[in-house]
A and B are shown apart, each in its own frame.
Chain A
Amino acid sequence: MVTLDLASMSVRDANRRLRELGEAGEDAEILNPDARHHIGVGLVHPITVRVRGSAGYFCAGLTDGARFEIDSNVGWGVGDNIYNGTVVVGGNAGAVAGVAIRGAEIVIKGNMGSRAGQVMKAGTLLCCGNASFMAGTMMYGGRIVILGRSGEKLGEDMTGGEIYVAGGIDSLGTDAMEIDISSDEVASLQDFLDRHKIPFNGHFRKVVNAGTKLRYTTPEPTLRNQSCTQASVGGFWNEKTKEDIEVKAVTGRYRVRGYGTARAVPHFNDIAFRKEIAPDADALSKVNLAMTLGDRSGAKPLSLSMPVLIAPMSYGALSRSTKLALGIASRLSGIAENTGEGGMIPEERAEAGQLIFQCLSGRLGWNVRDMQKADAIEIYISQGAKPGLGGQLMASKVTPELAAIRGIPPGIDLRSPSRHPDVLGADDLVIKIEEFREATGYAKPISVKLGAGRVKDDIKIAFKDGFDFVELDGLQGSTGAASAEVIEHVGIPTLAAIVEAIEALDEVGAKKNEMPIVLMGGIKDGVDAAKAIALGAGAVAVGTAALIAGGCISCMRCQAGYCVTGIATQNPQHEKRYRTDVEAGNIHRFLESMRWQMAAIVHGLGKTDVRQLCRDDLVALTPEAAAITGLPFEDRS
């Protein structure tokens, strides 16, 4: 056994040593831990780590196959997201113990803090003392065992899994209920306790999901809905409004739909380039569009042939074939793809040249193995289509295959949590980012996805928290499913978002593109991209535009999974219609058209590099756009 002394060594260095020891098959002992954070994060080898004292936040987090023994206490999020492995804590654990575990055994000899086991998928979390408030909230599977007393709201909004309590329950949470325990379960629990040498001779009560909130009661009628792309939606009373009212008269609730906002807001159409553009068929060879993205902290950046990315869209919202087509197209165009919420599928990883792996609140499909295969890591805080809310995936799309990769029960109307279990403020976020950096050896860029709401505050926090870049999503951003109320009425337009973001960066003294903003939300072509970059964006990302290029007919059935083109569906019959190679080619050609447009504009304005585009190149065409952007308003009519 090798001894590492944190009195004379940083956690970062100690973790690097632990990874080497893991590969070499040697165990380790940590002296003088003094409650420091991130001890042992990112280990993926069968190593035993003994911590002689207390550990801080995320001890043993994002690991697979290791064993940890901590003599005393641990901070928030012990064993975060462990795939397989064991953690034994001699003392107390802080909040969100065992958060998002996918198969671990975690034993806490003392008490544990609030929200233990939040969004866990599988494995066992044992607390020998008392559990605080909301243990098992939003858990999807696995079991929580509490030998002492449970605090209030036990199992609040749990979706799956079981909670066993021996010492009394202060109160049950919403949609949790107590049921009888079987003798097989008792035997299995006793076996677990015996294996970890925990003496016990009491009786368990069992709590499970009551099933009252897993599905919407009345489904929306399966109409051929009014498309957001139709002009008729522009008026006051129109076909879309009428349809919404008719559907609500059936369901008695908000509508859930895909796509972005259906109404007009000031956008890139409302600004223009100030100068005449001199056409040149050979512009592409005369300007530089290539860039790197994400080297602010010294990580290996993404290398983009042009300032365009594919926006984050999940396997789940989209079919596997569509994710593959996006991956192929992104590779052919030399740009980066993004997993979105639902985990990384191996074929997507293989096809995409560069892939960003997204971490959301539900930690669906999130795991250290895929983090290490990614080219960049992104933490999702919110998105333009529904700032403040988590993802929605209707039951028709939650197939057994999809549920398995996400680690959730199949066939539920999946509503992801609206906030991260372990990030409740900018100060927590700093510690979370550091965990990601430890798990990936500080080698991968870490970005944040933000829906445009309080952009100034959010961008300043992102800058101070050290993100390598930001993906900023305006009101027009689309989604696979969200309530129409938030799609239409929450957030600020993309145009306003980039202006506020650049102002915020100026105010905190950031250098140009020190933390690049990747702007998205209604970017429809290379002209929009060039305008966004002239306003200060580092790059843009396209989602809906790429889907339309790849066959989307805007049939407005994304949320229901009835997409006839095989894009926003998990129905194999529908997906069969999708020709991955053909659509990958279409998406690729569309991306190349963006490249050509950007090159033509850059060259036409007498510049040689896309980064030379600036505000002086632009004018506003409407008073509203002028007010939002501060660009001069010239009436060209």
Chain B
Amino acid sequence: MGRDLIAMLDGCQHRGPDSTGFALYADGADDLYRLRFYVGEGAEAAVSIARIKEILADKGAELLAGEQVGGSFAASVRHAGDVRPFAYAMEHAAKLFSLGHRLEIVKDEGTAHEVDARYHLSAIQGTHGLGHVRLATESAVRPEAAHPFWATGFSDIAIVHNGQITNYWKWRRRLEKLGFEFRTDNDSELIAVYLAKKLSDGASLKQALTDSIEDMDGTFSFLVSTGNEIGYAKDRLAAKPMVMVETDQLVAIASEEVSLNRLFPGQALSTREPLPGTIGTWSR
């Protein structure tokens, strides 16, 4: 799956040469969490990792394995109890890219192939995943500003999004009043937390996505994934591209057919474009 995502992202790298990111889902266990931090390199990394270990111990979590890969620190942790306070504590300790039983987010500066060279993603086997290429407009091209975004505080939920949510602050204030935390001002993180809250309240992914089309203003095409499901929503203005192909073996969704075709070189695909204001979900 790592190899497929790399090929698809390479196919649309023209849309964003600055950074590339992956959300990858592999098999997991209910009492184990995978945490992926961005720690940088050298002395800076050592300080971050020490701090991570300290807070893990403080929260009663057992570090089973920890490995530095590229600029990241991948931790396998046993933890019982509420996930949200634990996730927030870890998120305050260091730059936490993802937390989940199955999810790991890897994102950094550079192209899909450059990130692969640093993080060895092509070998990764998995069930489903998301990818994103980014054109950065803010001051620095920082890894933590890259996509995909994790739904901060929630296990296993990730998002990639193309577009702009124009009622961002309205929803951000509402969610913050309910006690949810945000680590960026990015509207993609907002959608992730918005959906994660719905899911944790017991909504199905289908219902959460349907609600999002009512609640989110602006232009958007996004993909969301959980431990078991993947889904999309597309705004009513149909301003952002999305095209998909579905076979007995897989479902692949991308901004452009050229990305889908990377999985099937030389073949003419039977693709479809989701209609404005629609959603779709698949489970494994």
Is the CB of B92 closer than 8 A to any CB of chain A? no
- Shortest distance in angstroms between B165's beta carbon and chain A's nearest beta carbon? 14
Is the CB of A95 closer than 8 A to any CB of chain B? yes
Kindly name the residue among A76, A132, A133, A424 whose own CB sees the greatest number of chain B CB atoms within 10 A. Answer: A424
State A523–B273 Cα separation when bound (angstroms): 48
Cβ-neighbour of B137 out of A95, A114, A457 (below 8 A): A457
Q: Pick the interface stretch among B53-61, B64-72, B75-83, B261-269.
A: B261-269
Is the CB of B93 closer than 8 A to any CB of chain A? no
1/0 contact string of B244-266 vs chain A (CB within 8 Å): 00000000000111101110011
CB-CB under 8 A from B271, the residues of chain A are 54, 73, 91-92
Find out whether the CB atom of B273 lies under 8 angstroms from the CB atom of A133.
Answer: no
Find out whether the CB atom of B258 lies under 8 angstroms from the CB atom of A427.
Answer: no
1/0 contact string of B215-243 vs chain A (CB within 8 Å): 00001000000000000000011111101
1/0 contact string of A36-73 vs chain B (CB within 8 Å): 11000000000000001110110000000000000111
Within A405-438, the residues touching B (CB, 8 Å) are: 424-427, 430-431, 434
State A460–B62 Cα separation when bound (angstroms): 45
State A113–B243 Cα separation when bound (angstroms): 10
Is the CB of B275 closer than 8 A to any CB of chain A? yes
- Shortest distance in angstroms between B48's beta carbon and chain A's nearest beta carbon? 26
The residue in chain A whose Cβ has the minimal distance to the Cβ of B270 is A91
Is the CB of A461 closer than 8 A to any CB of chain B? yes
The residue in chain A whose Cβ has the minimal distance to the Cβ of B267 is A53
CB-CB under 8 A from B243, the residues of chain A are 75, 94
CB-CB under 8 A from A94, the residues of chain B are 241, 243, 257, 273
Q: How large is the interface on B (under 10, 10 to 19, 20 to 34, 35 or more residues)?
A: 35 or more
Find out whether the CB atom of A35 lies under 8 angstroms from the CB atom of B256.
Answer: yes
Cβ-neighbour of A34 out of B18, B135, B258 (below 8 A): B258
CB-CB under 8 A from A111, the residues of chain B are 272-273
Find out whether the CB atom of B273 lies under 8 angstroms from the CB atom of A54.
Answer: no
Q: A-B pairs with CB below 8 Å: how many?
A: 110
Find out whether the CB atom of B139 lies under 8 angstroms from the CB atom of A424.
Answer: no
Is the CB of A225 closer than 8 A to any CB of chain B? no
Find out whether the CB atom of A114 lies under 8 angstroms from the CB atom of B272.
Answer: no
Given the contacts A92-B272, A113-B273, A427 and B15 also touching, CB distance less than 8 Å? yes
CB-CB under 8 A from B237, the residues of chain A are 133
Is the CB of A342 closer than 8 A to any CB of chain B? no
- Shortest distance in angstroms between A361's beta carbon and chain B's nearest beta carbon? 14
CB-CB under 8 A from B140, the residues of chain A are 507
CB-CB under 8 A from A434, the residues of chain B are 14
Find out whether the CB atom of B276 lies under 8 angstroms from the CB atom of A132.
Answer: yes
Find out whether the CB atom of A72 lies under 8 angstroms from the CB atom of B14.
Answer: no
Is the CB of B16 closer than 8 A to any CB of chain A? yes
Find out whether the CB atom of A95 lies under 8 angstroms from the CB atom of B241.
Answer: yes
Cβ-neighbour of A431 out of B14, B18, B137, B272 (below 8 A): B14
1/0 contact string of B268-284 vs chain A (CB within 8 Å): 11111101100000000
Find out whether the CB atom of A461 lies under 8 angstroms from the CB atom of B137.
Answer: yes
State A457–B270 Cα separation when bound (angstroms): 38
Is the CB of B17 closer than 8 A to any CB of chain A? yes
Find out whether the CB atom of B139 lies under 8 angstroms from the CB atom of A115.
Answer: no
Is the CB of A32 closer than 8 A to any CB of chain B? yes
- Shortest distance in angstroms between A9's beta carbon and chain B's nearest beta carbon? 14
Find out whether the CB atom of A73 lies under 8 angstroms from the CB atom of B15.
Answer: no
- Shortest distance in angstroms between A515's beta carbon and chain B's nearest beta carbon? 15
CB-CB under 8 A from A7, the residues of chain B are 265-266
Find out whether the CB atom of A32 lies under 8 angstroms from the CB atom of B273.
Answer: no
1/0 contact string of B122-143 vs chain A (CB within 8 Å): 0000000000000111011000
Is the CB of A151 closer than 8 A to any CB of chain B? yes
Find out whether the CB atom of A427 lies under 8 angstroms from the CB atom of B265.
Answer: no
Cβ-neighbour of A427 out of B162, B268, B272, B275 (below 8 A): B162
Find out whether the CB atom of B265 lies under 8 angstroms from the CB atom of A151.
Answer: no
The residue in chain A whose Cβ has the minimal distance to the Cβ of B18 is A464
State A434–B14 Cα separation when bound (angstroms): 10
Cβ-neighbour of B257 out of A73, A115, A431 (below 8 A): A73
CB-CB under 8 A from B18, the residues of chain A are 464
Given the contacts A71-B268, A73-B271, A35 and B257 also touching, CB distance less than 8 Å? yes
- Shortest distance in angstroms between A211's beta carbon and chain B's nearest beta carbon? 25
Find out whether the CB atom of B240 lies under 8 angstroms from the CB atom of A53.
Answer: no
Given the contacts A54-B268, A72-B268, A507-B139, A92 and B261 also touching, CB distance less than 8 Å? no
1/0 contact string of A164-207 vs chain B (CB within 8 Å): 00000000000000000000000000000000000000000000
Cβ-neighbour of A430 out of B15, B136, B238 (below 8 A): B15
The residue in chain A whose Cβ has the minimal distance to the Cβ of B264 is A34
State A510–B269 Cα separation when bound (angstroms): 41
The residue in chain B whose Cβ has the minimal distance to the Cβ of A93 is B273
State A426–B265 Cα separation when bound (angstroms): 28
CB-CB under 8 A from A425, the residues of chain B are 162-163, 240
State A424–B272 Cα separation when bound (angstroms): 21
Given the contacts A54-B257, A431-B14, A34 and B266 also touching, CB distance less than 8 Å? yes
Find out whether the CB atom of B269 lies under 8 angstroms from the CB atom of A424.
Answer: no
State A427–B262 Cα separation when bound (angstroms): 19
For the complex of A and B, 4 pairs with smallest distance between CB atoms: A72-B268, A35-B257, A427-B15, A114-B238
Instruction: List 10 A-B residue pairs with CB atoms under 8 Å apart, sorted by A's residue number.
Output: A34-B265, A71-B268, A75-B243, A92-B271, A111-B273, A133-B237, A424-B219, A427-B16, A431-B14, A464-B17
